[in-house]
Amino acid sequence: GDRAPPGLPAVTADTATGARAESRAGGGAGLCRPGVLILALAALGVAACAGSSEPSGGRFPDVITLGEGEVFPILTNHTLAVGVNRFSLMLADQEDSPLLGADVLLRFFDLTGEEPVLKSQADARFIPVELFFIDERSGKEKRYEGGNGVYVTRVDFDAPGRWGVEINVTADGTQLEPIPFQFDVLEVSPEPAIGDPAPPSRQLTLADVAHVTEIDSSFPPRPHMHEITVADALTAGKPILVAFATPAFCESRTCGPVMDTVMDPLYETYADEAVFIHIEPFQLKELREGIDRIPVEATAEWGLQTEPWLFVIDEQGRIVGKFEGIIALDEVETVLVRVLEG
């Protein structure tokens, strides 16, 4: 494979915690940038074959001091694992404002050997979102001013361990200095992988509660997405869409948009052909009382550590699509249509 110069990416991301750090030869101290917007998003994943050229912009620097570059990347995947991943990141400027709609090329390096090896590269698609949530007490919608979004591509990691990505950004016609970034790839992800059987969860449904608001923080609620358990849906012989989202309490502020702009439109179009299920990932009673974020049983069964998540399951009960955080309607619809067309 093609090789990159020594001294690969100094900025690292721990995908298990979302932490960012300044790395030096021999180790470095953790350092986080300020910014409410950045922290909110960080709470929140077909590569082409690599060419023969080395990474642009000369060698990778030995040290990157956070805040000194034109753009800073934030990996929004909670975890990445061997196999096909939806790789997702946000770009922010020195003012902690999102960099929107840029042209981004991602070049992925295997760092597990003695020298970095360029394995694949792909253009990243920008997916915009307007972050908002419903204040459950007042029933009013609250919004962050301005738009936000992530850059997404598909990448296949063939080995666990340390990987790097070179982020090439062109914004407003200006090509910026390439940004090097490191991250960890797990052998197995905590949540189901593509091809895995869907956990047959028996979450609470309308039959188990006095009112839909006990299992749905949406405003207004979506009772039609709480009629059947995942376990029973798996016997129905239809594709299933399962969204783990808590619109009123979502720390990333992206649960509402996922339900409003992805699940609702798909339900309107495919309600007769697929089963749509919404699961609140945490116990709502405790959330409303301000006690704690206690995962429901289904959240633990699916191994989820963030929200929102959206899974597409085929008629055989296998995971064929998994999406975390900010999601575009057509990403999910493409997978669903492929399943429906067999």
pLDDT at position 23 over 70: no
pLDDT at position 27 over 50: no
Q: pLDDT grade, residue 184 (50/70/90)?
A: very high
* CATH 3.40.30.10 residue window(s) in the chain: 206-340
Domain made up of 2-185: CATH architecture: Sandwich (2.60)
Closest CA to 244 of 300, 328, 206, 194: 300
CA distances from 49 to 12, 148, 194, 195, 296 (A): 24, 30, 21, 23, 41
Residues 143-161 pLDDT 10s: 553 478 999 999 999 999 9
Paired tokens of 274: 């697929």
Q: pLDDT grade, residue 94 (50/70/90)?
A: confident
Q: Which of 64-68, 190-194, 229-233, 304-308 has the lowest mean pLDDT?
A: 64-68
Residues 255-301 pLDDT 10s: 888 999 999 999 999 999 999 999 999 999 999 999 889 999 999 99
* CATH 2.60.40.10 residue window(s) in the chain: 2-185
Q: What's the CATH code, domain 206-340?
A: 3.40.30.10
Residues 101-130 pLDDT 10s: 999 999 999 998 888 999 999 999 999 986
Cα 337 from Cα 266, distance rounded (Å): 11
Verdict on whether the full-model pTM lies above 0.75: yes
Cα 216 from Cα 304, distance rounded (Å): 18
Closest CA to 276 of 193, 190, 205, 184: 205
In the chain, the amino acid numbered 295 is P
